[in-house]
Structure 1
Amino acid sequence: MTTLKSTLDTASDEYAANRDSMLGKLAEVDAEHAKAIAGGGPKYVERHRNRGKLLARERIELLIDQDSPFLELSTLAAYGSNYAVGGSVVTGIGVVEGVECMIMANDPTVKGGSSNPWTARKVGRAMDIAVENRLPMINLGESGGADLPSQKEIFIPGGRMFRDLTRMSAAGIPTIALVFGNATAGGAYVPGMSDHVVMVKGQSKVFLGGPPLVKMATGEESDDESLGGAEMHARTSGLADYFAADEQDAIRIGRRIVARLNWQKKGATPAPFVPPRYDEEELLGIVPGDLKIPFDPREVIARVVDGSAFDEFKPLYGSSLATGWASLHGYPVGILANARGVLFSEESQKAAQFIQLANQSDTPLIFLHNTTGYMVGKDFEQGGIIKHGSMMINAVSNSKVPHISILMGASYGAGHYGMCGRAYDPRFLFSWPSAKSAVMGPQQLAGVLSIVARAAAQSRGQEYSEENDAAMRAMVEAQIEAESLPMFLSGMLYDDGVIDPRDTRTILGLCLSVIHTTPVAGADGFGVFRM
């Protein structure tokens, strides 16, 4: 076992500047998180409370085991859009009666909990996680169905949720619906397609069409209770399996349902472990505010893995990518961490071999991103950077062990792919507030466009305006910078959340525990590596 020795100088001006920069970015993230937690705002929160109802996160807090963590996912969904931050739904992983479950709770303070396009994307991501990691699904429902003005964006993809509920049931993954209010139109199919359904006396209203629609469609006069009330569904239609006296009773029943599932993990149990030797608080001062300045990812690893122990693989070869073995909360892991940004042929080949070894030993992989991509230039092209980079991407693509990605700094170009970006289906992907991700850096992208425009003008025999060029470059740089930032990418659901660096070890531990709900097994083959 090799224990990492930190050289981080926490008394230096550089550390202080890095820490201040990170805290400033964290404050911006916290402000957006606060918007998601606020839901529809004080007016609608007060209206909801006056009806004697709990808020979405209060329902979750009562549902999960006392003092257990809740790993909220996609908190910033819809950031930068015309919809409320959070996507009008709360999703995350919590422990209920000792069982890790995927929990989804509509936020009825945001347009009555109606689903918009971002709701559908966020729910889809949560269900993917539940299926891949074999997590029972608990829906805490109170929704008016689709947000009708955006129906063209929600109707077609929204049907996926019902399909996935039935497929989960067919795969033996339990689905539970606790209905706290309206479950109208499409929302009615959530209890309709769940394995276990609880409805609340005097609150639950589950129907395909409410009284006004029934009146318009058939001329029939009806009321909420006879058309879709909890007691009617418990006594007459049979849709409700349990009839709860109030919200707290519904949550109690939901917990008892989970307790009776006889749910067992199928993966390995963690070994005893010791915490890192270095303070997680120091993670705030490692990443520079300017990502052009390199930093040593081993300083991060030393504050995340058990005992700060890291057995490095090929430390003298391909040194701008650190690879090695460690354990985290008692689970064995392999780690790939960018050390100096650029990936060369040596790093690519080293990564491909390391990923193969992890698959041979059924070891999950953690990718720590800070890369500007694969190296370009005549010598590197002639040296085979394309085929070597392709080897790394091939290995990542065909690896079967679970992957977790953390974007700490830059994650540009095909380097984002080789380090298992979102398109490569990591089980989980989180960003630090310092992260940036795009095709390339803003200055490089603007410069490329400038060169292309200048060449085009020259080919046409036209004079090139330096003033227009400067304006174009400034505009492009500002746009790419804004679109590279982690809150923008998180709003697009390109990660599972922007996290405080100090929470990295805890979040990775939660994810590894979830991953081991299923057996971990490596790939049998990797296709053709172009040598």
Structure 2
Amino acid sequence: MTAPPDGPAPEAEPEPRPEAAREPAADNAEAFRRQCAAVEAARCLAAAGGPAEAVARHQARGKLTARRRIALLLDPATPFLEIGALAAHGVYDEPVPAAGIVTGVGSVGGRLAMIMANDATVKGGTYYPLTVKKQVRAQQVARENGLPSIYLVDSGGAFLPLQEEIFPDAHHFGAIFRNMAEMSALGLPQIAAVMGSCTAGGAYIPAMADETVIVRGTGTIFLGGPQLVQAATGVVVDAETLGGADLHTSRSAVADHLADDDIAALATVRAILARAPALPLPGPDLPPEPPLRPASEIADLIPQSPRQRLPAREILARLIDGGRLDEYRARYARTIICGTAAIEGYRVGVLMNDGVLYAESAQKAANFIELCCQRQVPLLFLHNISGFMVGEEYEAGGIARHGAKMVNAVATAAVPKFSLLVGGSYGAGNYAMCGRAFGPRLMAMWPNARTSVMGGEQAATVLGLVREEQLRKAGQSFDADARARFEAPIRATYATSSHPIHAAARLWVDAVIEPEDTRAFLALALAMAKGGPKGETRFGVFRM
């Protein structure tokens, strides 16, 4: 693969970039609406929780649903930034909406907190592998942003058929309890409300919390439930006697506060959190301004075909305050845009792809990241990247070495980092633009975005060439029809596995958001980060 050099010399006038004809805006918008509709349908399934009969049984016991509990816990008329809403969508043999746990950041008593609420209408609130992964991710967000954690517990413990994917490894169930201990040691409050069953290893959540509330009549805590006790000892005992609220508030002291119902329990949690001084969101650095153009126009700009160019600067004009970007090296290495901007008044260093990454692009980005780290400016990566440039000329020019500088800078930058996939995000380009493995505080995708090791077309072509070579060595032919039959399922597989719903279901990203919601999402993320712990950047060795 070859391409023209990466932009003109610094003293040259910029030349227009060739691109295919753009589709009409109305056609773009309609295609984008269809993509949004698919995401919204998945969200609605997740928000509904378990089947109707499970919800009815839950409510008949006098219990509120997980989402209703969160709504009553939050300060009135304040937003809830949900993390992992699409987790487990389509992953298991049977539905596990939202992975059986609702997690997100909201304001409780004037202080932002991470809320984790088991959904007992989904398989009794048992923990699937993705339930564990989602809760550990929520705790990571809480730790990085210095937030207290609130656990609304209503769970039957581990989903036993998948126990080996839940129990023994470093990032399995035990990580939840270790995180609680470490965050408590950091001075981040850990508060639990037991509003239903709390069984086996899950019993350590209320036991390890700084303070625990339990609901009379519905809340139970025990390491071994009645069935296990009977199997192990032969003793028949009911759940309330074994681990009910009266026992744990009067004899065992596993719980500290008794509540008569869910509403009383939530009020107690709010009172516990209110003992510490309120920590409202830090104000913006600058007076907030609307973008130059409304974000509602972004749907018109997103091409239907990934072969069409996404207009990076037009996207930015609809995301950043006033459309103003204090651009770094604006005339050099133009396939990556770097500059300082503001979103709702919060300063941020922006890196956005406008083409493939060359050696010059990587060096420019690495230098810009250094400057942001020196000045304690958070970083926002807007992905639309097919990867680094390939070809004999570029390999000889050391593109791997230069690309490594950017990857090094992204990995070691200790300022808050955020990633948003607005188009494609493939291969090493994903890594260089702060993919999941590089520690973004929050990461989201637009409904049109795609991510995989490479595009489906490229994967099909590469594997087709490999197959052709294998057959040639065996003395067999590989005609056009055979190639088409071979490549079609590869394209189909990549189309599915690169989709935002697929990524969000596996927690490769925290959310799938629409362009019109992006500024609010990023503003809250930047405000959280501003009030959170600060790190000191120490870069690794940059190979020159």
TM-score range normalised by the length of the shorter chain: over 0.9
Q: Name 2:271's counterpart in structure 1.
A: 256
Q: Does 1:460 align with 2:474?
A: yes
The Cα shift of 1:265 comes to 7.4
Q: Does 1:57 align with 2:57?
A: no
AA matched with 1:501: P
Q: Name 1:327's counterpart in structure 2.
A: 342
SS of corresponding position for 1:308: coil
Q: Does 1:73 align with 2:83?
A: yes
Match of 1:135 among 144, 147, 154: 147
CA distance in 1: counterparts of 2:37 and 2:313, whole angstroms: 26
**Stretch moving more, 13-22 or 433-442:** 13-22
SS of corresponding position for 2:139: helix
CA distance in 2: counterparts of 1:21 and 1:373, whole angstroms: 25
Q: Name 2:528's counterpart in structure 1.
A: 514
SS of corresponding position for 2:217: coil
Q: Name 1:526's counterpart in structure 2.
A: 539
Conservation of the 8 A alpha-carbon contact between 1:265 and 1:518: no
Identity %: 44
Conservation of the 8 A alpha-carbon contact between 2:213 and 2:258: yes
- Give the RMSD, CA atoms, in angstroms: 1.7
SS of corresponding position for 1:120: helix
Distance 1:271-1:259 versus aligned 2 partners, 3 A rule: farther
Q: Name 2:10's counterpart in structure 1.
A: none
Q: Name 1:101's counterpart in structure 2.
A: 113
CA distance in 1: counterparts of 2:498 and 2:279, whole angstroms: 41
**Equivalences for 1:277-316 in 2 at 5 Å?**
277-316=292-331
Match of 1:405 among 414, 419, 422: 419
AA matched with 2:26: A
Match of 2:38 among 19, 24, 28: 28
**Stretch moving more, 425-434 or 383-392:** 383-392
Conservation of the 8 A alpha-carbon contact between 2:207 and 2:255: no
Match of 1:228 among 240, 243, 246: 243
AA matched with 2:59: R
In the alignment, structure 2 segments of 5+ residues that lack a partner are 1-21
Q: Name 2:500's counterpart in structure 1.
A: 486
Q: Name 1:495's counterpart in structure 2.
A: 509
**Equivalences for 1:371-450 in 2 at 5 Å?**
371-450=385-464
In the alignment, structure 1 segments of 5+ residues that lack a partner are 1-11
SS of corresponding position for 1:420: coil
The Cα shift of 1:264 comes to 4.4
Match of 1:147 among 153, 159, 163: 159
AA matched with 1:22: F
The Cα shift of 1:284 comes to 2.0
AA matched with 1:444: Q
SS of corresponding position for 1:381: helix
SS of corresponding position for 1:155: coil
**Equivalences for 1:229-248 in 2 at 5 Å?**
229-248=244-263
Conservation of the 8 A alpha-carbon contact between 2:319 and 2:519: yes
SS of corresponding position for 1:343: coil
Q: Name 2:379's counterpart in structure 1.
A: 365
Conservation of the 8 A alpha-carbon contact between 1:75 and 1:86: yes
CA distance in 2: counterparts of 1:446 and 1:336, whole angstroms: 30
Conservation of the 8 A alpha-carbon contact between 1:140 and 1:180: yes
CA distance in 1: counterparts of 2:63 and 2:238, whole angstroms: 21
SS of corresponding position for 1:411: strand
The Cα shift of 1:413 comes to 1.3
Q: Does 1:86 align with 2:113?
A: no
Q: Name 1:4's counterpart in structure 2.
A: none
CA distance in 2: counterparts of 1:269 and 1:171, whole angstroms: 26
Q: Deviations over 1:115-162 (max 9, x none)?
A: 111101111111111111111000011001111222222222112111
CA distance in 2: counterparts of 1:309 and 1:465, whole angstroms: 53
Q: Name 1:43's counterpart in structure 2.
A: 53
CA distance in 1: counterparts of 2:394 and 2:283, whole angstroms: 43
AA matched with 2:454: M
CA distance in 1: counterparts of 2:143 and 2:260, whole angstroms: 32
AA matched with 1:505: R
The Cα shift of 1:480 comes to 1.1
Match of 1:166 among 163, 173, 181: 181
CA distance in 1: counterparts of 2:270 and 2:462, whole angstroms: 57
Conservation of the 8 A alpha-carbon contact between 1:364 and 1:520: no
The Cα shift of 1:269 comes to 5.7
AA matched with 1:496: D
Q: Name 1:3's counterpart in structure 2.
A: none
AA matched with 1:100: L
Q: Does 1:116 align with 2:131?
A: no
**Stretch moving more, 451-460 or 247-256:** 451-460
SS of corresponding position for 1:323: strand
Q: Name 2:369's counterpart in structure 1.
A: 355
**Stretch moving more, 425-434 or 146-155:** 146-155
Q: Deviations over 1:317-340 (max 9, x none)?
A: 111111111112222110001113
Distance 1:307-1:464 versus aligned 2 partners, 3 A rule: closer
Normalising by structure 1, report the TM-score.
0.94
CA distance in 2: counterparts of 1:41 and 1:513, whole angstroms: 37
**Stretch moving more, 63-72 or 204-213:** 204-213
SS of corresponding position for 2:423: strand
CA distance in 1: counterparts of 2:378 and 2:518, whole angstroms: 16
AA matched with 2:72: L
Q: Deviations over 1:379-418 (max 9, x none)?
A: 2222222221111111111111111000010101111111
CA distance in 2: counterparts of 1:230 and 1:280, whole angstroms: 51
The Cα shift of 1:520 comes to 3.7
